[in-house]
Chains A and B, each alone.
Chain A
Amino acid sequence: AQSVAQPEDQVNVAEGNPLTVKCTYSVSGNPYLFWYVQYPNRGLQFLLKYITGDNLVKGSYGFEAEFNKSQTSFHLKKPSALVSDSALYFCAVRENTNAGKSTFGDGTTLTVKP
């Protein structure tokens, strides 16, 4: 069975500072990993994914994530946070043998203060 953990319910950072939102996963095979963002009263929007290749992947809005196989982690990062980055962030994992079904973490609320 596959699972995802987002250990922090809430992350607070000051505008202009770097941010990290943590994610760890568990799968039996090679993982496909995704980050999504949700703004209030909206559906989730895709940010970035890791399938294979470089461990550092870049996505929308200046976000990036680092895949670490030994630590089974896929942390979301941004060098300089904006107030508009404040939202709910979800990490998701999909086994490459599990034909499309993803498991999501519980979500992390990011608040960026001016």
Chain B
Amino acid sequence: DVKVTQSSRYLVKRTGEKVFLECVQDMDHENMFWYRQDPGLGLRLIYFSYDVKMKEKGDIPEGYSVSREKKERFSLILESASTNQTSMYLCASSLSRDTLPYTFGSGTRLTVV
């Protein structure tokens, strides 16, 4: 089975800190995605990537950046964490064919205090 691993299940950071969320997948998937999940708002796409060193903005990219230096790893960066970035962050990956579903990681619950 494909595995998508997010490095932390729970994180607590202070306002203004630079925060790195790491995601690694082990099945050579081309596409990787970062979503945030908030109650009543569903999943909102932050950034996605189709290939190494390639990135595209999603629906809510403000305050975030990403890095994809290797195919298996997709990092989400909060440049200066704020309390409104407290959320559940979900990483997903998929093969390049559009008909295939995503495989999700278990999520990182980030609290910014």
Contact = CB atoms under 8 A, between A and B. Distances in A.
Interface of A: 6, 9, 32, 34, 36, 41-46, 49, 51, 90, 94, 96, 98-107
Contact of A44 (B41, B45, B102, B109): B102
Contacts, number: 62
Contact of B104 (A32, A45, A51): A45
A83 to B, nearest CB: 23
B50 A100 contact: yes
B8 to A, nearest CB: 13
Contacts of A43: 4, 90, 92, 104-107
A99 B97 CA distance: 8
Interface residues of B, number: 27
Interface of B: 4, 9, 31, 33, 35, 40-43, 45, 48, 50, 58, 90, 92, 94, 96, 98-99, 101-107, 109
